[in-house]
């Protein structure tokens, strides 16, 4: 059977699940890292621990390092340039990367102190941190989260940490979408591993984390972002830079041709209140009747509800939506999300259904 375009592993054990995911995805057969310089680019936008929803879980990066070292010697550097106003060194420290680097004997590179190369992307030229371009293999390890201006930040937008601060300011002046799409033409990403254990519902800075319990692997950042958008109840066409990057690469963002493989099932059980931000808890209290729902399913429902609420579609909705494993086999009136509520009068199949699908189901069959 052919290797998948995207691989998904559910769960919150970053180290163990990343290694399993990369093994099942066949990363070692697809990339040659023997003796290579391997750059790992997490999202350390600011000094904030991963469970707040803004930064990459160091356990996932540890999983990548252990996986690579298991196959071959490689010169590994973790690299980042935090956003304007944050010190990368502090982010390395707070997010656990100083300890990580020491434990595995890998380098940390603050891209804010790096040399610069100027390269063209489309009609414009861009300044890129030289250390990124010196790598033989670049592994992009973004967080799955919302962005206040671009709606989504995942693989493509994570490359913004590979440019100097002056260029970051310029990207904002230019409206972000065009220059972010151009970066995809300039910086070659070889592998993407998305930290979707905690996503953030509203903002790239974290603060409204939602436990999503999944890690995603892919070779093509446009395909990865197209899948990520759907997990956040967005259509890829809603995200300007994704639409542009897809057009430049000729990638079909509908994923209809893509081979997406889930390597396990989302069988964990969490309290809906546990692990929830205030905003997620409010949505949960008001609209959800959950019993032993998996985080992956629950997180998708929260994203769908948040998107509907933002559009005003929930203004007159006062029913409850049912979700969770304890509803298995129960015949009940009302809307049920996921295969566990298959016997409900209105049901959306899937284990878990995507946030986009949940949003359509609620819009068409429930509201
Ligand atoms: S359908 Fe049921 S088992 Fe599947 S993810 Fe949802 S709650 Fe979990």
Per-residue three-class SS string for 211-268: EEEEEEEECCHHHHHHHHHHHCCCCHHHCHHHHHHHHHHCCCCCCCCCCEEECCCCCC
pLDDT of residue 274: 58
Ligand 1 closest atom vs CA 292: 7
Could you tell me if 197 and 57 are in contact, meaning their C-beta atoms sit under 8 angstroms apart? yes
pLDDT of residue 156: 97
Is residue 351 within 6 Å of ligand 1 at its C-beta? yes
Ligand 1 closest atom vs CA 324: 7
The H-assigned helical ranges of 9-87 are: 14-25, 27-30, 58-71
pLDDT of residue 33: 74
- Residues 83-98 have a mean pLDDT of 94
CATH code, domain carrying 52: 3.40.50.11440
If you measure from the C-alpha of residue 225 to the centroid of ligand 1, how many angstroms do you get, rounded to a whole number?
Answer: 23
Is residue 338 within 6 Å of ligand 1 at its C-beta? yes
Is residue 297 within 6 Å of ligand 1 at its C-beta? yes
Please tell me whether residues 175 and 234 are part of one structural domain: yes
105 pLDDT more than 90: yes
Please tell me whether residues 330 and 243 are part of one structural domain: no
Confidence of residue 199 (pLDDT cuts 50, 70, 90): confident
- Give CA 206 to chain center in angstroms: 13
CA distance 364 to 353: 15
pLDDT of residue 1: 65
Is residue 60 within 6 Å of ligand 1 at its C-beta? no
Confidence of residue 182 (pLDDT cuts 50, 70, 90): very high
Strands (E) in the chain, as ranges, are 6-10, 37-42, 75-80, 107-110, 116-121, 124-129, 137-141, 143-147, 151-153, 191-200, 209-218, 260-262, 288-290, 321-323, 335-337, 346-348
Could you tell me if 242 and 222 are in contact, meaning their C-beta atoms sit under 8 angstroms apart? yes
Please tell me whether residues 171 and 312 are part of one structural domain: no
pLDDT of residue 317: 86
If you measure from the C-alpha of residue 192 to the centroid of ligand 1, how many angstroms do you get, rounded to a whole number?
Answer: 26
If you measure from the C-alpha of residue 325 to the centroid of ligand 1, how many angstroms do you get, rounded to a whole number?
Answer: 6
122 located within any domain = yes
Q: Average model confidence (pLDDT) for the chain?
A: 91
CA distance 183 to 196: 23
pLDDT of residue 100: 98
Please tell me whether residues 77 and 210 are part of one structural domain: yes
Kindly report the backbone phi and psi dihedral angles of residue 121, in degrees, each rounded to the nearest multiple of 5, phi listed first. -140, 110
pLDDT of residue 275: 57
The residue nearest atom 4 of ligand 1, judged by CA position, is: 351
pLDDT of residue 218: 98
Structure tokens at 329: 């086999």
Could you tell me if 318 and 332 are in contact, meaning their C-beta atoms sit under 8 angstroms apart? no
Is residue 341 within 6 Å of ligand 1 at its C-beta? no
Is residue 293 within 6 Å of ligand 1 at its C-beta? yes
Structural domains of the chain, count: 2
Is residue 294 within 6 Å of ligand 1 at its C-beta? yes
Confidence of residue 121 (pLDDT cuts 50, 70, 90): confident
- Residues 30-36 have a mean pLDDT of 82
CA distance 121 to 146: 26
Please tell me whether residues 130 and 247 are part of one structural domain: yes
6 pLDDT more than 90: yes
Confidence of residue 155 (pLDDT cuts 50, 70, 90): very high
For 319, counting Cβ atoms within 10 Å of its Cβ (0-12 exposed, 13-18 middle, 19+ buried), the class is exposed
pLDDT of residue 341: 96
Is residue 299 within 6 Å of ligand 1 at its C-beta? no
223 pLDDT more than 90: yes
Name which residue leads in pLDDT, 112 or 319: 112
- Give CA 311 to chain center in angstroms: 23
Pocket test for ligand 1, best of 214, 265, 266, 296 (most atoms within 8 A of CB): 266
Is residue 325 within 6 Å of ligand 1 at its C-beta? yes
151 located within any domain = yes
Please tell me whether residues 158 and 111 are part of one structural domain: yes
* Helices 177-186 and 165-173, packing angle to 10 deg: 130
Least confident of 60-64, 77-81, 201-205: 201-205
Confidence of residue 107 (pLDDT cuts 50, 70, 90): very high
CA distance 55 to 101: 16
Q: In the listed set 200, 227, 262, which residue is the last one of a domain according to the structure?
A: 262
pLDDT of residue 146: 81
Ligand 1 closest atom vs CA 350: 1
358 located within any domain = yes
Please tell me whether residues 99 and 204 are part of one structural domain: yes
Against a cut of 0.85, is the pTM above it? yes
Please tell me whether residues 348 and 201 are part of one structural domain: no
Please tell me whether residues 249 and 294 are part of one structural domain: no
Is residue 272 within 6 Å of ligand 1 at its C-beta? no
Structure tokens at 56: 């990459």
Cα–Cα–Cα angle for 278, 281, 286, rounded to 5 degrees: 130
Please tell me whether residues 215 and 345 are part of one structural domain: no
Please tell me whether residues 304 and 338 are part of one structural domain: yes
pLDDT tens sequence across 249-299: 999 999 999 999 999 988 765 555 555 678 888 898 899 999 888 888 888
Q: Is the peptide bond before 352 cis (omega within 30 degrees of 0)?
A: yes
* Tokens 């409850």, residue located: 320
- Residues 182-198 have a mean pLDDT of 95
270 located within any domain = no
Instruction: Give SS3 for 190.
Output: coil
State the DSSP code for 84.
Answer: T
Please tell me whether residues 192 and 330 are part of one structural domain: no
Range of the domain at 70: 6-262
Task: State percent of the chain over pLDDT 70.
Answer: 97
CA distance 347 to 57: 34
The residue nearest atom 8 of ligand 1, judged by CA position, is: 294
Could you tell me if 265 and 297 are in contact, meaning their C-beta atoms sit under 8 angstroms apart? no
If you measure from the C-alpha of residue 297 to the centroid of ligand 1, how many angstroms do you get, rounded to a whole number?
Answer: 6
């Amino acid at each position: 059977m052919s290797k998948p375009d995207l691989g998904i592993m559910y769960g919150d054990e970053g180290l163990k699940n990343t290694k399993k995911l990369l093994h099942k995805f066949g990363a070692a057969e697809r990339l040659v890292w023997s003796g290579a310089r391997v750059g790992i680019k997490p999202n350390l936008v600011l000094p904030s621990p991963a469970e707040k929803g803004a930064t990459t879980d160091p356990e996932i990066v540890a999983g990548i390092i252990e996986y690579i070292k298991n196959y071959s010697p490689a010169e590994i550097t973790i690299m980042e340039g935090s956003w304007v106003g944050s010190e990368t060194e502090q982010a390395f420290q707070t997010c656990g990367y100083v300890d990580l680097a020491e434990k595995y004997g890998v380098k940390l590179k603050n891209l804010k102190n790096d040399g610069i190369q100027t390269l063209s992307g489309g009609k414009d030229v861009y300044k890129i941190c030289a250390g990124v371009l010196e790598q033989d293999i670049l592994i992009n390890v973004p967080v799955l989260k919302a962005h206040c201006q671009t709606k989504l930040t995942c693989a493509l937008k994570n490359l913004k940490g590979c440019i100097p601060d002056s260029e970051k300011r310029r990207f904002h002046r230019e409206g972000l979408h065009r220059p972010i799409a151009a970066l995809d033409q300039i910086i070659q990403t070889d592998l993407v591993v998305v930290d979707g254990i905690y996503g953030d519902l509203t903002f790239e800075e974290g603060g409204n984390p939602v436990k999503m319990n999944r890690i995603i692997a892919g070779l093509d950042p446009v395909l990865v972002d197209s899948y990520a958008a759907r997990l956040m109840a967005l259509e890829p066409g809603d995200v300007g830079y994704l639409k542009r990057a897809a057009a430049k690469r000729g990638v079909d963002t509908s994923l209809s041709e893509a081979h997406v493989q889930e390597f396990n099932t989302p069988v964990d059980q969490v309290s809906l209140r546990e692990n929830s931000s205030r905003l997620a808890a409010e949505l949960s209290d008001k609209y959800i009747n959950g019993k032993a729902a998996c985080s992956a399913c629950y997180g998708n429902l929260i994203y769908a509800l948040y998107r509907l609420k933002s559009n005003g579609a929930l203004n007159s909705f006062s029913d409850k939506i049912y979700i969770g494993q304890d509803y298995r086999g129960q015949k009940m009136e009302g809307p049920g999300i996921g295969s566990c509520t298959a016997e409900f009068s209105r049901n959306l199949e899937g284990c878990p259904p995507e946030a986009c699908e949940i949003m359509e189901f609620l819009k068409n069959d429930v509201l």
